[in-house]
Structure 1
C-alpha cells in the first residue's frame, strides 16, 4: 500500500519542535523530508539532554525519524546556491527563522519561486510575518501567555505560574497549523499551478484554542477568568477532582445524560439538576475526596459517564487502550544502545508509516545535492565545510 503523501518532497530548514514535528507528521504520511542543517552542530535539539551515547539526543531521534540530513551553511555562496538547486525540485520548504532572515540570506520567497514557481514556502514564527512584535524572540511559554492561554489555566484567583507543561503554542499553534496550511496550499496548487508563502504564527494558533471561550465572552458571559469558566473549573460536571488518597480524576459529564448517570452511580440523584450550578462544585469536590482513587477508577470503568483517571508518570504507557492502539513502538536503530528507540506514533495514520531512524548530521549531503543536479564545484565547496 502506498502512503498518501508519497512523491511529495519537503525541505525543512526549521529547528527545535514546531517545524520538525510538522514535517514528522508529513514524513510519516509518506513525504520525503530533507532536513537542511547548519554544519556547525545542526538542529539545536541534537545537543539537548538526554543524550543517547554519541548518537545525539533522544529528542532529535524522536522528532526526525524518516528524514534525511543535508548540511549547508546558508551564509556562504555555495550553501545558498545548493539550497536554491534543492528548492528547484521541491514541493514545500518549511522554515522557522525570524521574519526577514531568509531575505537577508538571499533566499526570499521571490527568489525561491524564480527557480520553482510551484514551491510552497511555509514560515513558522512566534508572532507572524507582520505586526509590531514580529521580530520579538520567544518560546512556547511566552506565546501561550500572550494568547491568554496561561491566564485561563489554574484555580480561581490562583497564581499565574500555572501552565500545562506541554508545548501548546509550538505544537497546536505551530506544527498542526502549519501542516493544515501546507496541505491546503498543495490542494490550491493543484488548481492554480502556483505555490504561495504561508504565514503561520504560533501565537495566533494558541489563541485559536480559545475560540469557544471567547464566543462565550462576546455573547455576554463576561471576560475570561482563571478557574471560573464553564470548561475551566466553573461547572461541577466538568473538571478535575482530588480523591481521598490525593490522586486526580477528570470528569467530563457535560451532557445531562452523562451527568445523571454519574449522579446515579454515586447515589447523589439530588445533584442531577445541578450539573451547571457553580455553587454545587464544593459538594462534588467533597464527594470525590471521600473515596480513594482505585474506587473511582472502578466506577469509571463500570459507568458510561465520561469519567477518566489522570494518569501520572509511566501509567500513560501502561494504559491497555493506548497499547491496543499501537501508539508506542520500538524503532530499530543499530547505532543506539540496545539497538532500538522507544517511540510514539504520530496521530494521523493512513497506511503504515516508514520506520527509518533519524539521520546523522549531514549524512545525505552528497547524495541529495548530486541528485538535485548541483554542480560538482558547489558540492565540493559544501562538503569541505563538513570535514
Structure 2
C-alpha cells in the first residue's frame, strides 16, 4: 500500500481468501484496503492451463495481497493449508455448501486447531434452505429478491438490467466484509471466532426492505413506477437535454422541488409535486424545458442551487469527474514491470489517506513457500510439497 501516517484499522489481521471472484473476493479486497494482510488462495495450476483473467482485474481485485497455491485434494496440500490456517484470523470461502467440509478445511476442522478463526462462507443462497446448492449470478439474486421487477422495464416489457453488479458488491461483498469486522470485534470480547453464513440472495432481499416493508404493512404490491424512487413522480426521473445527454433529477423534498420549478420557469407546478393526476403533464413540461439546453449547462445552473440535479455520466466521464478527482477515487499504480496506470481507489472514511502509487505485483507470482516458512514449516518439507505438486 502507499505510505500513510496512521495505522490501518485492520493492520495485523491475517486473512486467507479462497474466493477467486464474486462477493467473497470483493470482501477480501475491502479488508485489504483497510490494512489486513490478505493471501489469495488458489489451486495448483494444471499443466497447460491458460490464465484468462484480465491483468487489470487482478491488479485491482488482488491489490496489496499475497498469493498461495495448494492442491487441497491431496493430503500434503491440505495439511500445508491447515498449517497456514493455524495462524490466520479470517478465512473467506465461496465454494458450494458442503465442499470445504468434504475437503477437510471447513469451520469445524479449522476451529478445532484455531478456536479464534472467523470463518466466512459466502454463497448465492446461503448454507441452508431448499436452494442452497443452486448455482447463480448477480442477475439471479436480483431477480428472486424483487429488485429487477421494481427497477423498470425494457421496451418489450422485460425487467431492465442494472448497470453494476449490485448483488455481488452491495448485497454480498459489503455484507461479508461488515460481518467479518463485526465478528473480529466480538472476538475481542469473547476470545473465540465463529462461522459466518453470508448469502447474496439474503443481502439482495435486504436491499429491498423499503418495498417489502410497505407490502407487508399494507398488502399493496409495489412494482415499476409504484414508488417515488421508481419513477412514479416527475420529480424523480431522468431527462434528455439538447445534446442528447441526460440529467438525473431527485427533487423529492418540497424545498428542492420549489427551487427546481422556479429555475425551470414551471412555478405553476410548485404545489402539484405529488399530484398523480398531473404527473404526465409535469413530466412533459420538464422534458420540454430540459431539451432547450445542454446537459452541462443545466448542471451548471441547477446543481449548486439546491435542486438535486446532476449529470448522467458515461464511465469515462465519471472517472474524469471533478468530484471523483477531488475525493481521491482514482489511484495511481505501478506494476512489476514499472508500467504506471490508474485504477479505482479504496473509499477512505478517514481524513489521513495513503500517499504515493500502489505497487501491484505480477498476478502469477506465488508466495506459498515464503508464507509456509513464516509459520514454521521447514524448507525440506516445503521442497517435498512443491516436488509432489501439493503446493506451487
TM-score (norm 2): 0.90
Q: Which of 129, 151, 158 is equivalent to 2:149?
A: 151
Specify the alignment match of 1:361 in structure 2.
364
Separation of aligned partners in 1, 2:154 and 2:221:
13
Note closer, same or farther for the CA distance 1:312–1:157 as it changes in structure 2 (3 Å cut): closer
Report whether the alignment pairs 1:342 with 2:358: no
Specify the alignment match of 1:199 in structure 2.
197
Specify the alignment match of 2:377 in structure 1.
374
Specify the alignment match of 2:207 in structure 1.
209
Aligned CA RMSD, in angstroms, stands at: 2.3
Query: CA offsets per residue over residues 90-148 of structure 1, 9 Å max, x none?
Result: 10000011100101101121110011000000011000000000001111111111111
Partner secondary structure for residue 328 of structure 2: coil
Report whether the alignment pairs 1:26 with 2:26: no
Instruction: Describe how 1:28-177 pairs up with structure 2 within 5 A.
Output: 28-40=33-45, 47-48=52-53, 51=54, 57-155=55-153, 159-177=157-175
Of stretches 274-283 and 86-95 in structure 1, the one that deviates more from structure 2 is 274-283
Note closer, same or farther for the CA distance 1:279–1:83 as it changes in structure 2 (3 Å cut): farther
Is the CA contact 1:29–1:349 (under 8 Å) kept in the aligned structure 2? no
Specify the alignment match of 2:353 in structure 1.
352
Is the CA contact 1:241–1:249 (under 8 Å) kept in the aligned structure 2? yes
Is the CA contact 1:156–1:228 (under 8 Å) kept in the aligned structure 2? no
Query: CA offsets per residue over residues 26-54 of structure 1, 9 Å max, x none?
Result: 11111100111112279x99523xx4xxx
Separation of aligned partners in 1, 2:110 and 2:362:
26
Of stretches 341-350 and 140-149 in structure 1, the one that deviates more from structure 2 is 341-350
Partner secondary structure for residue 359 of structure 2: coil
| Stretches (4+) displaced over 6 A | none
Specify the alignment match of 2:3 in structure 1.
none
Cα deviation, residue 151, structure 1: 1.1
Is the CA contact 2:336–2:361 (under 8 Å) kept in the aligned structure 1? no
Is the CA contact 1:16–1:45 (under 8 Å) kept in the aligned structure 2? no
Is the CA contact 2:153–2:159 (under 8 Å) kept in the aligned structure 1? no
Cα deviation, residue 309, structure 1: 0.7
Separation of aligned partners in 2, 1:204 and 1:285:
39
Is the CA contact 2:247–2:312 (under 8 Å) kept in the aligned structure 1? yes
Query: CA offsets per residue over residues 340-380 of structure 1, 9 Å max, x none?
Result: 23111122444435933145335211100111123545422
Partner secondary structure for residue 196 of structure 2: strand
Q: Which of 7, 11, 31 is equivalent to 2:12?
A: 7
Is the CA contact 1:87–1:112 (under 8 Å) kept in the aligned structure 2? yes
Query: CA offsets per residue over residues 50-99 of structure 1, 9 Å max, x none?
Result: x4xxxxx2112110110000111111111110111111101000001110
Specify the alignment match of 1:332 in structure 2.
334
Unaligned runs of 5+ in 2: 1-5
Separation of aligned partners in 2, 1:377 and 1:117:
29
Cα deviation, residue 157, structure 1: 8.6
Specify the alignment match of 1:54 in structure 2.
none
Of stretches 63-72 and 10-19 in structure 1, the one that deviates more from structure 2 is 10-19
Query: CA offsets per residue over residues 183-240 of structure 1, 9 Å max, x none?
Result: 1101111111110000000011111111112222233272121233221111221122
TM-score (norm 1): 0.91
Partner secondary structure for residue 180 of structure 1: helix
Separation of aligned partners in 1, 2:152 and 2:384:
54
Note closer, same or farther for the CA distance 1:235–1:2 as it changes in structure 2 (3 Å cut): same
**What number of residue pairs does the alignment pair up?**
377
Unaligned runs of 5+ in 1: 52-56
Report whether the alignment pairs 1:291 with 2:299: no
